[in-house]
Chains A and B, each alone.
Chain A
């Protein structure tokens, strides 16, 4: 990968109302050629961050560099190289799919053939004269993605693109994102509030919570962090004895049994072996990885 990140923000802060800080010191770093998953629960500041990156909101504090250029001074040149989809579909309901793309075709300086191409890519080339107001939400979302792809962008910014898509549509979207990254070399910044939804396609992850970046790095690093917070739930014929045997794992005892922290599956096997070697009957051995909600809590407490 290129050393120069495609997006680099430093000290980015923003507030809609003076008393509420929506973003606080966001230092985003998106590497060229990566698929960056921008994660956070609803209201955490994802859309505000992406809106700042696209110049939809005026930058109040901090700096934004995209393609190595400052956004404030090079807004138009930068936007010409970015495709975007922010939240809900942004389409003219009284026009057809093709006409919606035609509205922006000259602005991006692309050929008519590109319009056909992107309609083909998202699978709505056969909608003909059907007006967008008669489209399903899924079709509108596909057309929004086609619009984002129209300039054949180097950087694609997708804000919750799976909204309104059915399960098959989500799988297709995932495949499309991977294909655009791999075959067309697009860097993709994709936001979501569901880790499970994007972890199958992203190479890097940034987690934002209440306007603050809690984590940023490769997906493998997040998995390591996630693993550290994972617990193994155990129930045996003698839970108190099991607790004594597993003292080094700092067990927590409850009515149903006990739980211990674990790092990998080999540890689970070792724990099982120790229990059975000591003549304890194992009724339950359930590894439970951190879900995103728990991860947020862990990351929040880690940053407190």
Chain B
């Protein structure tokens, strides 16, 4: 109950901040580019014809999941804790009758709420794109093609779970540094390193690097390891949450 109260307070704090619009708009570029590509006869038309309705979702989710979602998570995890630093409100938070554990978890849950909103918004935009594609060229028969919702939900769940390691570490960094540039710089560097490990070096360690795990749902040869990687991500989340909380509890945010 107290955790829900703390979460409610966190949600109120994000009211009128850029985070909500950032979430809604951040999920839009990939579906928009996809739509423009199809309408102008670009490369995606062929993919749509080949793979049907499911292919549109897969393609959209892959492009979002590889680039836009990690960037969004890095920025969100850094900017949300900044609300307290920027407004000098940590002392008021800690002078109120709530445990540090609840404050910490409520902030993490609020970030995850927005990440889920991002994923839902992405799927909603892709659905809209499909409808628009259907009306622009009914001969594609997109709306009457088979739709594998189970696969879509599983893919969304893996996208979210494999992102948790990156998200939690970035959340810790966001709470750790008063200057928001530092966690963003660290996050971007690690993300680029993770992408290079996955696509350039094809390193054996890719399944253990927190900033590489989110690429697994979108690389076909890694699909056999997906469950293992999801568990690794949850393990990292637990570890980073624990370390982050110990650090959060020990740190002096006031005076």
Contact = CB atoms under 8 A, between A and B. Distances in A.
Interface of A: 47-48, 51, 54-57, 75-80, 82, 84, 86-95, 99, 102-104, 106-108, 131, 147
Nearest to B99: A76
Contact of B6 (A77, A95, A99, A107): A107
Given A56-B95, A92-B89, A108-B96, A51 B255 contact: yes
A90 B89 contact: yes
Interface string B1-28: 0000110110011011100000000000
Interface residues of B, number: 26
Interface in B87-145: 87-92, 94-99
Contacts of A99: 12, 15
Given A54-B95, A57-B254, A91 B17 contact: no
B5 A79 contact: no
B252 interface: yes
Contacts of A92: 13, 83, 87, 89
A107 B12 CA distance: 12
18 contacts: A51-B255, A55-B95, A56-B254, A57-B252, A75-B97, A76-B98, A82-B95, A90-B88, A90-B91, A90-B92, A91-B89, A93-B87, A94-B17, A95-B13, A103-B13, A104-B96, A106-B8, A147-B92
B9 A56 contact: no
Nearest to A96: B16
B92 A107 contact: no
Interface of B: 5-6, 8-9, 12-13, 15-17, 83, 86-92, 94-99, 252, 254-255
A75 B8 CA distance: 22
A78 B97 CA distance: 8
A47 B255 contact: yes
Contacts of A90: 87-92
Q: Can you list the 7 inter-chain pairs with the closest CB atoms, starting with the nearest?
A: A80-B97, A90-B92, A79-B97, A56-B254, A54-B95, A76-B97, A106-B5
A91 B254 contact: no
Given A99-B12, A107-B6, A57 B255 contact: yes
- Name the residue in B8, B91, B94 with the highest tally of chain A Cβ atoms < 10 Å from its Cβ: B91
A147 B13 CA distance: 15
A51 B9 contact: no
B17 to A, nearest CB: 6
A79 B95 contact: yes
A237 to B, nearest CB: 57
Contact of B9 (A48, A54, A76, A103): A103
A103 B92 CA distance: 11
A91 B99 contact: no
A107 B13 contact: no
